[in-house]
Structure 1
Amino acid sequence: MDPGARREDVTATAVRRRLLRAVIDVAPVFGFTVSFAVTHRLAVALALAIAAGAAVCVHRLVRGEPIRRPLAALGLVCVGGVLAARTGQAANFFLPSLVVHCVVSVVTPVLLVLGWPPMGLLVGAVTGERTRWRRCQVRRRAFTKGNLVILAGHLLMLAIQLPLFFSGRTVALGSVDVLGPIALALAALWGWRIYRRAVGTHRCTAHDRPSAEISPCVERAA
């Protein structure tokens, strides 16, 4: 099998695993939303959210899986919990995730214009290719096209969640936030399919020189 195709298959598998893990990662937000909808007690909802976040970390640790993502999610839960507890406004629990969506929505277009699509950086980190994909203009454009889908996912989340946040509709906000990681994982999978379709049968030459900004590429049958 072609090494490039093998790396791409590994990346596709990683995207699908991310989708499955996203279902588990929503446990803290799900617990907070359900408990607050039932009890309307902020302390109970926060306690359940933190407990669920810790349980996800332990589950990943026992299975020998990376826990950086659940730890980051638990950190957001703790920050949101502090904000909600100090202000007495349950909707502030979701403020950190809104800030993340805002930052991604602002930074991503800048990186796309500069020719550094975050999707390419992530794929390079997963496959060990790092930033060598930038030497191929076809792949760089394909990553940009795929990344637009992910950017659209973040913008859609902001368009839905911001009105709910400013109106203080905590349960509705939480219901949307529960679907957020799953929707973004689906967007990543869709973006990956767009990337593969844009690349098509295009393959870079094996003797690309690291010093070249864009190396010559050839096309051959997959």
Structure 2
Amino acid sequence: MSDLVLMRKAGQHIAETAAPVLGFTLVYATTNRLPLALTAGLALAAVAAVYRFSQARSLLPAAGGFALTAGAAAITALSGEAADFFLPVLILRATVVLLTPIMLLLRWPPVGLAAGVLLGRGLAWRRCPARLRAYTVANLVWVVAEGALVANQVRLYLADRAMAMGAFKLLVEVPVHVLLAVLMWVIYRRLTRRPCDCHQVRENHQGERP
């Protein structure tokens, strides 16, 4: 998979994730009708799910994204609080941010795991010290920025500012995530400029044994 294709996939993922929030926020802001806003969010989530399935030919990513939005809509309908539409994704993001430092200490950077799945290379990158270091550094940049974004969304959620949460996600988080994707790609490319011969790495380690 080329770098251009990888960046395009990252951009598509960001757009597909933001689509239900866009529909919900715009409709609720203009009509102040929660059922109509939830319908708009679910409709765009369904469109994104169909598109994901048609592109990836895999049911799990498409169904997972729609199920998350459907769960958020169900919680919001039961509570009657618009801010609850953002709660499931917020909990998921906060959990990932909290677990990332532990994963980094264990030398399992989540960015590397995601890239292995996306590129179809599995865990081969862990046998290459340069790639492991590159994913770790990129993940450090991501967790700092994502932690700040999540903290702000938690603050807005506790203040019950649903429209502010939607606006912040669309106007701030989406551009920041795009910039993060580009920055992490640049970091990875710079730190893996020299090819990593994993077979040679293993041979060197074996030669050092007494």
Give the TM-score of the pair, scaled to structure 1: 0.80
Deviation string, structure 1 residues 31-59 (Cα, Å, up to 9, x no partner): 10011111111111111111111122233
- Paired residue for 2:9, among 17, 42, 45? 17
Q: Does 1:152 align with 2:133?
A: no
Q: Distance in 2 between matches of 1:87 and 1:54?
A: 23
CA gap 1:189/1:71 in 2 versus in 1, 3 angstroms: farther
Matches within 5 A, 1:107-146: 107-146=99-138
Shift of residue 65 of structure 1?
A: 5.4
SS at match of 1:26: helix
The separation in 2 between residues aligned to 1:124 and 1:56, in whole angstroms, is 23
Partner of 2:78: 86
Match of 1:195 among 167, 184, 188: 188
Give the % identical residues.
Answer: 32
Shift of 1:63: 5.2
The corresponding residue for 1:27 is: 19
Are the structure 2 counterparts of residues 165 and 68 from structure 1 closer, same or farther at C-alpha, using a change threshold of 3 Å? same
1:204 aligns with 2:165: no
Structure having the larger proportion of residues in helix: 2
Scaled by the length of structure 2, the TM-score of the pair is 0.84
Where does structure 1 lack aligned partners over 5 or more consecutive residues? 1-8, 217-222
Distance verdict in 2 for CA 1:114–1:76, change over 3 Å: same
Q: Name the residue aligned to 1:55.
A: 47
Superposition deviation, residue 122 in structure 1: 2.2
Relative distance call for 1:149 and 1:203 in structure 2 (3 A) is: same
Q: Is the 8 A contact 1:146 1:195 kept in 2?
A: yes
Contact 2:113-2:122 within 8 A present in 1 as well: yes
1:156 is displaced (CA, Å) by 2.2
Distance change in 2, residues 1:206/1:10 (3 Å): farther
Question: Which residue does the alignment assign to 1:186?
Answer: 179
The alpha-carbon deviation at position 143 of structure 1 amounts to: 1.1
The Cα offsets for residues 147-196 of structure 1, whole Å up to 9 and x where unpaired, read as 11221232122122111111111111011223535533431331121121
Q: 2:98 aligns with which of 100, 106, 116?
A: 106
* One-letter code aligned to 1:16: R
Instruction: Determine the structure 1 residue equivalent to 2:157.
Output: 165
Q: 1:166 to 1:146 in 2, by over 3 A?
A: same
Moved more, 127-136 or 57-66: 57-66
How many equivalent residue pairs? 206
Once the two structures are overlaid, the 10-residue window that deviates more, 43-52 or 54-63, is 54-63
CA distance in 2, matches of 1:124, 1:12: 17
Judged with a 3 Å threshold, the aligned counterparts in structure 2 of structure 1 residues 17 and 64 are, in CA distance, closer, same or farther, namely closer
By how many angstroms is 1:27 displaced?
Answer: 1.6
Structure 2 residue runs of 5 or longer lacking an equivalent are: none
